[in-house]
Amino acid sequence: MLAKRLIPCLDVADGRVKKGVNFVNLTDVGDPVKIAAAYQQQGADELVFLDISATNEQRKTMTDIVEQVSAQVFMPLTIGGGISSVTDMQRLLKAGADKIAINSAAVADPTLIQAGAKKFGNQCIVVAIDTAFDEQAGQYRVYTHGGQQATSFEAIAWAQKAVSLGAGELLVTSMDRDGTKAGFDLRLYQQLGAAVNVPIIASGGAGNLADFTDVFQQSPVDGALAASVFHYGELTIGQVKQSLKAKGVVVR
Amino acid sequence: MFAIVDYDTGNTRNLQKAFNYLQVPTQLTADPDKLAAADAVILPGVGAFAAAMQALRTRDLVPVLQQLGQAGKPVLGICLGMQLLFESSTEYGEHAGLGLLSGQVTAIPANIGVKVPQMGWNENELQQSTSPFAGIDHEYTYFVHSYYAVSPASQVVASVQHGVQVPSIVQRQNVIGMQFHPEKSGQVGLAQLATFKEMVSANDFSSN
């Protein structure tokens, strides 16, 4: 039986990890290789690197980071942020990435999903969706450009379309919960799980141990992504896994 | 020196990085003489079965790999590379494999309540207690695949459950396959590669 995955997400700009990661014994808190190695040590199941660089020029450094991390850290690596072509994907996959997450570019041109899946296989293509509940419309609305731009897309339908085009996994962030530590948006993941049959990674809202138990026991997600609770050492991967195991959730 | 078969497949570099990390020298090559001279041949692979066999055929590597495997050269197939070691696959039609292992590669059934592809960490169950790979029992390794090997039990060293019993390590004497990605399976994955290296150094494949 597949283990539920715990996935730290690292924001990277110009070759350095932003949002200070606060680990004991970590001498260089911005070094992606050292942070990745520390997370491997803790038992992380996968890492997501999100490139938040402002320019395409800065983004090129991501390739070097992937190259270096994959020489020292032996777990699946997903890279996202500013990827808008099959050429970008190929460059990162060649450097050692396992999966590519596309977000705004997929909304702008959904055939990018198809092109990537056809060339590299569905398992390589993660469609990342940022969404918030629109009370008036009574549905989840998709946002792009780091949550700055509302689109006309409804999240569940967009998820289904992305999967039909070849997305092998969905990384779905609840903007309503992101940064709140109020727990994952269970309703969102329940609706998504009923609509698609690819792995779903939940993101946004992780604050305490119970939040992880709830998202795995009350929604059909395969993984949970978090940043600050892990980075600031509020929870270790080990603690979360121990707690999940005690509640009967299968973890590695 | 281990030779990694160079035939334009996906995970070659990461595999090479894992061997580097273990301080095992590797060489990427499609040269039959270099493959023959190597201590072991590593067959990586990502993608579709038929395309991979075609890529091997284009480089005239099919008879080379078959002869090396039959002559006792240690061969390690990884992921799709493992599947290629079998007799055939039903992925998009019926295609012949290298035939160094008995059995057929077939789709994980989609209607049995599991997601396909199997993508993630799964727990290994040891099937042959005297194997040098015995340390993998109850350990998790990372899988990404939609097809799996239907293999005689005598070849199955370890397996995982994903709706069906999926062989995770297979062996027939000097021919070994890993369905998971050892280069993506943390310390456990590296340990399996180290075990293979020790088997090659000792030239001992008698456990199977």
Q: List the CATH number of the domain containing B35.
A: 3.40.50.880
Confidence band of A224 (pLDDT split at 50, 70, 90): very high
**Distance between B183 CA and the closest CA of chain A, angstroms:** 6
**Which structure tokens are listed for B17?**
């990085």
* B109 vs A: CB within 8 A: no
A 22-81 residues inside an 8 A Cβ radius of B: 40, 45, 70-72, 74-76
**Is B93 part of any domain?**
yes
**CA A221, CA A190: separation in Å to the nearest integer?**
8
Check if B57 contacts A (Cβ < 8 Å). Answer: no
Q: How many CB pairs under 8 A join A and B?
A: 71
Residue B178 in contact with residue B77, Cβ under 8 Å? yes
Confidence of residue A108 (pLDDT cuts 50, 70, 90): very high
The answer to whether residue B208 is domain-embedded is no
Q: What are phi and psi of B74, to 5 degrees?
A: -60, 125
Domain assignment of residue B207, yes or no? no
CB A82 within 8 Å of CB A56: yes
> Which among B10, B115, B144 is the nearest to A197, CB-wise?
B115
State the residue range of the domain holding B147: 2-202
Measured between alpha carbons, how far is B62 from B79 in angstroms, rounded to an integer? 18
Ramachandran region, residue B108 (left: φ > 0; alpha: ψ -120 to 50; beta: rest): beta
Is residue A22 over pLDDT 80?
Answer: no
Partner residue opposite B140 with nearest CB, options A3, A76, A222: A3
Residue B23 counted as domain residue = yes
Please write the tens of the pLDDT for every residue from A117-170. Answer: 988 888 999 999 999 999 999 999 999 998 899 999 999 999 999 999 999 999
* Cβ atoms within 10 Å, residue B55: 17
Range B76-81 average pLDDT: 96
pLDDT in tens, B95-141: 999 999 999 999 999 888 888 889 999 999 999 999 999 999 999 99
DSSP B98-132: --SSSSEEEEPPTTSSS-SSEEEEEE-EES-TTST
Instruction: Give me the pLDDT at residue A119, please.
Output: 86
Task: Please tell me which of the candidates B122, B186, B190 has its beta carbon nearest to residue A1.
Answer: B122
Position A26 confidence tier, pLDDT thresholds 50, 70, 90: low
- Count: domains in chain B: 1
* Residue B152 within a domain: yes
Closest approach of B28 to chain A, Cα-based (Å): 15
Q: Which residue has the higher pLDDT, B35 or A123?
A: B35
Which residues of A have a catalytic role annotated? 11, 130
**Domains along the sequence of chain A with CATH:** 5-246 (3.20.20.70)
Within 8 A of A5 by CB-CB distance, chain B residues are 120-121
- Amino acid B208: pLDDT: 76
Higher per-residue pLDDT: B115 or B2: B2
| CA gap B155, A63 in Å, rounded | 40
How far is it, in rounded angstroms, from Cα B178 to Cα B61? 20
Nearest Cα of chain A lies from the Cα of B175 at a distance, in angstroms, of: 24
Cβ contact B122–A2 (<8 Å): yes
